[in-house]
């Protein structure tokens, strides 16, 4: 089978991003966004998904990390969609629930081609690692939109923002690992196509 991989470049006045994604890898990641906490989360995502990810982003961090994370989400979603191609044989849907100390998160994905995000969190502190918590919702929204993914992400409970987001990224990675697995025949849809 041909390798499931994609390369995405994106340059705007706010960000300059280079990304390579391989779906059938070993979970190796080289991530440099300029925002260390994001590097940590994206490395977790790649590891738990079994994706090989190389990502560099130069963004307007003098403003904040919002544009960087939003655009990284767009690029990652585009790469996932391109690497999946016609999606023949994939499981398509999957879920995972992962704890991290006192925190628990659940991710449910459907690689249907129809983008939608349901993001539930209560208890995230307003600021995590120096940035507003809302940029994470924007990252997940951009990722789901460009990937054509129905993503339901629930940060079920927790008291430590780092732990809550770490559980969420691990759960999302594990759900994606299961959803992209090729274990079926043809396209996983009764209508015969995914879009």
Q: Residue 178 and residue 103: Cα distance in Å, rounded?
A: 22
**Residue 194 domain-assigned (yes or no):** no
- Pair of tokens at residue 108: 């449910």
Q: Give first-to-last CA distance, the chain, whole Å.
A: 23
- Pair of tokens at residue 60: 């307007």
Q: What global pTM score does this model have?
A: 0.94
- Pair of tokens at residue 158: 């927790």
What is the reported pLDDT for 191? 65
**Residue 45 domain-assigned (yes or no):** yes
Q: What would the DSSP string read from start to end of 88-109?
A: TTB--EEEEEEEETTEEEEEEE
**Residue 20 domain-assigned (yes or no):** yes
What is the reported pLDDT for 3? 87
CA atoms within 13 A on the CB side of 33: 26
Question: At 15, is the secondary structure helix, strand, or coil?
Answer: strand
Per residue in 150-176, pLDDT (tens digit) is: 999 999 999 999 999 999 999 999 999
**Residue 195 domain-assigned (yes or no):** no
Q: Residue 158 and residue 124: Cα distance in Å, rounded?
A: 8
What is the reported pLDDT for 193? 66
Going 123 to 147 to 97 to 128, the CA torsion angle's sign is negative
Q: For tokens 């767009």, what's the residue?
A: 74
**Residue 188 domain-assigned (yes or no):** no
Q: Which CATH number belongs to the domain containing residue 26 in this structure?
A: 3.30.230.40
**Residue 149 domain-assigned (yes or no):** yes
Could you list the residue range(s) of the whole structural domain that residue 150 is in?
Answer: 5-179
Total domains, the chain: 1
Instruction: Encode 57-68: b = buried (16+ Cβ within 10 Å), e = exposed.
Output: bebebeeebbbb
The tens place of each residue's pLDDT in the chain, 195 residues long, gives 678 999 999 999 999 999 999 999 999 999 999 999 999 999 999 999 999 999 999 999 999 999 999 999 999 999 999 999 999 999 999 999 999 999 999 999 999 999 999 999 988 999 999 999 999 999 999 999 999 999 999 999 999 999 999 999 999 999 999 999 998 776 766 566 666
What is the reported pLDDT for 184? 76
**Residue 85 domain-assigned (yes or no):** yes
Other CB atoms within 10 A of residue 101 CB: 13
Provide the Cα torsion 105, 110, 113, 117; round to 10°: -30
Question: Hey, which residues does 155 pair with through a beta bridge?
Answer: 105, 121
**Residue 87 domain-assigned (yes or no):** yes
């Amino acid at each position: 089978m041909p390798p499931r991989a994609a390369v995405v470049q994106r340059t705007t006045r706010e960000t300059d991003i280079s990304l390579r994604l391989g779906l059938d890898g070993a979970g190796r990641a080289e991530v440099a966004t300029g925002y260390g906490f994001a590097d940590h989360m994206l490395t977790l995502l790649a590891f738990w998904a079994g994706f090989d990810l190389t990502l560099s982003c130069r963004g307007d961090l003098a403003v904040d990390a919002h544009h960087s994370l939003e655009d990284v989400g767009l690029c990652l979603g585009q790469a996932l969609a391109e690497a999946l191609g016609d999606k023949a044989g994939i499981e398509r849907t999957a879920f995972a629930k992962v704890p991290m100390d006192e925190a628990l998160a659940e991710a449910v994905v459907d690689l249907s081609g129809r983008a939608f995000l349901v993001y539930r969190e209560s208890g995230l502190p307003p600021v995590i690692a120096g940035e507003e918590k809302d940029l994470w919702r924007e990252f997940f929204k951009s990722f789901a939109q460009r990937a054509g993914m129905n993503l339901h992400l629930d940060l079920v409970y927790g008291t430590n923002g780092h732990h809550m987001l770490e559980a969420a990224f691990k759960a999302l990675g594990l759900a994606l690992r299961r959803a992209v697995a090729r274990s079926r025949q043809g396209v996983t849809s009764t209508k015969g196509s995914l879009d």
